[in-house]
Homo-oligomer: A and B are copies of this chain.
Amino acid sequence: MQTVRVALAERSYPIHIGTGLIGRADLVLPHLAARRVAIVSNTTVAPLYLERLARPLETAGVRATRIVVPDGEAHKDWATLNRVFDGLLGERCDRQTTVIALGGGVVGDLAGFAAATFMRGVPFIQVPTTLLAQVDSSVGGKTGINHPLGKNMIGAFHQPQLVLADVGALDTLPGREVAAGLAEIIKHGLIRDAAFFEWLEAHVDRLVARESEALTHAVRRSVEIKAEIVARDERETGDRALLNLGHTFGHAIEAGLGFGTWLHGEAVGAGMVMAAELSRRLGDLTAADVERVRRLVARAGLPVAGPPLGVERYLDLMSFDKKVQGGRLRLVLLRRIGSAYIRSDTPAERLSETLAACAAPA
* CB of A25 within 8 Å of the partner chain: no
User: What B residues does A147 contact at CB under 8 A?
Assistant: 85, 89
* CB of A257 within 8 Å of the partner chain: no
Task: Report A118-158 CB contacts with B as 1/0, cut-off 8 Å.
Answer: 11110000000000000000000010100101101111110
Picked from B95, B113, B153, B325, the residue with its CB within 8 Å of the CB of A89 is: B153
Q: How far is the CB of A109 from chain B (nearest CB, A)?
A: 11
User: What B residues does A324 contact at CB under 8 A?
Assistant: 92, 94-95
- A155 x B319 contact (CB < 8 A): no
- A118 x B325 contact (CB < 8 A): no
- B153 x A85 contact (CB < 8 A): yes
User: What B residues does A96 contact at CB under 8 A?
Assistant: 325-326
Enumerate A68-102 residues with CB–CB distance to B below 8 Å.
Answer: 78, 82, 85-86, 89-90, 92, 94-96
Q: How large is the interface on A (under 10, 10 to 19, 20 to 34, 35 or more residues)?
A: 35 or more
* CB of A327 within 8 Å of the partner chain: yes
Q: How far is the CA of A34 from the CA of B116 in the complex (A)?
A: 27
Q: How far is the CB of A330 from chain B (nearest CB, A)?
A: 10
Q: How far is the CB of A110 from chain B (nearest CB, A)?
A: 13
Q: How far is the CA of A94 from the CA of B321 in the complex (A)?
A: 9
* CB of A322 within 8 Å of the partner chain: yes
* CB of A117 within 8 Å of the partner chain: yes
Q: How far is the CB of A96 from chain B (nearest CB, A)?
A: 5
Picked from B85, B86, B155, the residue with its CB within 8 Å of the CB of A117 is: B155
- A326 x B94 contact (CB < 8 A): yes
Main secondary structure of the interface of A (DSSP, over half): mixed
* CB of A262 within 8 Å of the partner chain: no
- B322 x A156 contact (CB < 8 A): no
- B121 x A157 contact (CB < 8 A): yes
* CB of A49 within 8 Å of the partner chain: no
* CB of A196 within 8 Å of the partner chain: no
- B82 x A78 contact (CB < 8 A): yes
Enumerate A5-37 residues with CB–CB distance to B below 8 Å.
Answer: 34, 36
Given A89-B153, A121-B157, A156-B117, do A34 and B326 touch, yes or no (CB 8 Å)? yes
Given A89-B147, A95-B325, A322-B95, do A156 and B156 touch, yes or no (CB 8 Å)? yes
Given A154-B118, A156-B120, A157-B121, do A149 and B89 touch, yes or no (CB 8 Å)? yes
Given A78-B82, A89-B147, A90-B149, do A117 and B325 touch, yes or no (CB 8 Å)? no
Q: How far is the CA of A153 from the CA of B85 in the complex (A)?
A: 9
Given A94-B325, A326-B96, do A155 and B120 touch, yes or no (CB 8 Å)? yes
- B118 x A153 contact (CB < 8 A): yes
Q: How far is the CA of A21 from the CA of B95 in the complex (A)?
A: 38
User: What B residues does A116 contact at CB under 8 A?
Assistant: 156
In the A-B complex, the 4 residue pairs with the closest CB atoms: A89-B149, A120-B155, A34-B326, A119-B322
A interface, CB within 8 angstroms of B:
34, 36, 78, 82, 85-86, 89-90, 92, 94-96, 113, 116-121, 142, 144, 147, 149-150, 152-157, 236, 319-320, 322, 324-327
Complex A-B: 22 CB contacts under 8 Å: A36-B326, A78-B78, A78-B82, A85-B147, A85-B153, A85-B154, A89-B150, A94-B325, A95-B324, A95-B325, A96-B325, A113-B117, A117-B117, A118-B153, A118-B154, A119-B153, A120-B144, A120-B152, A120-B155, A120-B156, A120-B157, A121-B156
19 additional contacts, CB 8 Å, given A94-B326, A96-B325, A118-B153? A34-B326, A78-B78, A85-B153, A86-B149, A89-B320, A92-B319, A92-B320, A92-B324, A95-B324, A96-B326, A117-B154, A117-B155, A118-B154, A120-B142, A120-B155, A120-B157, A120-B236, A121-B157, A156-B156
